[in-house]
Structure 1
Amino acid sequence: MQRIFRERRRKRTLRSIADDLNREGIPSPGGATWHPFRVSYVLDNPKYRGAIEYLFRWSGLETHVLQPDAHEAIIS
């Protein structure tokens, strides 16, 4: 995962990151092939930055609550 963040900081595209991971035989977290949307999911996932996201539903409404600094960040 750190590699994905490092490559994105170098201004690499989602497609080029996914292509390199596939070429090197690195499986995605679910064991599938890497696609740009999977790379984007990793980059946008608040868990890697130490946050927890909660989803509350009531009376047909739902809201997301993000709790920053809930745990140590996996990616700095």
Structure 2
Amino acid sequence: MTTAPLGEKASRLETQVGETSENELLNAVQVAQILRLHPQTVRRLVREGRLSAHRLGSGSARRRGLRIRRASVDKYLTESAVS
């Protein structure tokens, strides 16, 4: 699997999401689209602590209540970029 350079990912991110603030909250599906991953992979990254998120609700609603800050996505992209 090949990965795009960080600059290309960042510009693709802006194209997909538009102008956003660092505090914007995204759900797992939105983050998956940005990172070109499956939503379950995004949830796994959160579970493993590699991507920080906030959980809303309780019980079965918790899965749908996952919110990830745009700044966390940007940080993950920066940290996972290969130099």
TM over 0.5: no
Structure with greater proportional helix content: 2
Which is bigger in relative contact order (C-alpha 8 A, separation at least 6)? 2
Output the TM-score relative to the length of structure 1: 0.31
Output the TM-score relative to the length of structure 2: 0.30
Structure with greater proportional strand content: 1
Task: Name the larger-Rg structure.
Answer: 1
